[in-house]
Amino acid sequence: MNDLSIRKDRKAGRITFTRPQALNALSHEMALAIIDALSDWENDPSVALIIIDAEGDRAFCAGGDIAAVYQAGKAGDHSVGQVFFADEYRMNGMLADYPKPVVAFMQGFVMGGGVGVGGHVAHRVVGDSTQVAMPETGIGLVPDVGGSWLLARAPGRIGEYLGLTGGRMDAGDAIHAGFADFYLPEAEWPAMIDKLAESGDASLLKGRPAPHSALADRDLSAFGGRSVADIVKALEAADNQEALKPLRRNSPLSMAATLAMVRAARGDQRMQESISREYRFTYRATAESDFIEGVRAQIIDKDRNPQWQADASPAKVEAMLASLGSNELAWEQ
């Protein structure tokens, strides 16, 4: 596969994204290849740890490659998205529970599907170019790939803020919010990767003092509101135009569902519970949400003018997150 370089390097299993021209967007085939590699290395005694990195300066992985999901969904075939999301989420779950140390080096854009690859592993490294975000409400989707689990565990109301607005985090913010563990200047990454591959010892990974998090200083109490409407009202009272702008731009259904999902995920014991809830929405997304219109406006036509139509009522949110019955995402115990 030209989009990934999967190989063994001394004591490390190496997975490198190699499609920088597409900001290393994650395709269905790439997700399956990662699953296969992780399965092969799990019981391979010559592999002591896994290193995930990416070519190019602009992105570790800027998200899932959803063009095929969009085209099929627009044509009335919803199975393409359902199968892609199911396989991607199983890959996310494997990374979260992997029995050997996994180290991700995440430069540039780390968004959506990129968070799913790098955000759940044991050792998450960020640098000066890193920009982490879960911007799905802007395309009529919800923070998935375990994003609701991570958002739910961020301090205070950061999870609601990031989930609804799609706001970006730099290295300091990502560490403060629990999306990363180590800050290391990117010039030092090659030497650290070499040391890890040579030794097979993840305990040798050391970072530097993290940059200050501006996110930690923000008053996000408005995002404790019971509903999106309540949050908007509180932001209007505080004249917080910066936060109001994305809330007026993003899909109302997606934001309402995201609010419910982040709060529900606070009660989950395993990331897989959060992903299973996310899958209920994404399974239905191409048929029953604003997803097709959001992708059209932001990615296909790029007019940045989505015409949101989906009902955003509490009943609709409940229906989008209701059990899928026999189609629920299955996990190996």
Q: Which two tokens stand for residue 25?
A: 């967007």
Helix axes 79-97, 271-288, angle to 10 degrees: 170
Q: Give the pLDDT of the chain (333 residues) as one tens digit per residue.
A: 789 999 999 999 999 999 999 999 999 999 999 999 999 999 999 999 999 999 999 999 999 989 999 999 999 999 999 999 999 999 999 999 999 999 999 999 999 999 999 999 999 999 999 999 999 999 999 999 999 999 999 999 999 999 999 999 999 999 999 999 999 999 999 999 999 999 999 999 999 999 999 999 999 999 999 999 999 999 999 999 999 999 999 999 999 999 999 999 999 999 999 999 999 999 999 999 999 999 999 999 999 999 999 999 999 999 999 999 999 998 875
- Domain range enclosing 229: 4-327
d(CA 53, CA 20): 12
Within a domain: residue 332? no
- Count of domains observed in the chain: 1
**Burial status of residue 302 (CB atoms within 10 A of its CB: 0-12, 13-18, 19 or more):** exposed
Please provide the DSSP assignment of 290-307 as one string: SHHHHHIIIIIS------
Give pLDDT, residue 141: 98
Q: Which two tokens stand for residue 76?
A: 């009335």
CB within 8 A of 234, min separation 6: which ones? Answer: 221, 222, 225
Within a domain: residue 316? yes
Give pLDDT, residue 2: 87
d(CA 207, CA 326): 45
Q: Which of 177, 181, 203 is nearest to 104 (CA)?
A: 181
Across 174-200, b (16+ Cβ under 10 Å) vs e yields: bbbbbbbbbbbebeeeeebbeebbeeb
Within a domain: residue 210? yes
Within a domain: residue 203? yes
DSSP secondary-structure letter at 178?
A: T
Q: What is the CATH number of the domain that holds 207?
A: 3.90.226.10
Give pLDDT, residue 198: 98
Give pLDDT, residue 331: 85
Give pLDDT, residue 333: 52
Element (H, E) at 104: strand 102-106
Within a domain: residue 54? yes
Within a domain: residue 333? no
Element (H, E) at 133: strand 131-133
Q: What positions carry a catalytic annotation?
A: 64, 113, 136, 144
Element (H, E) at 287: helix 271-288
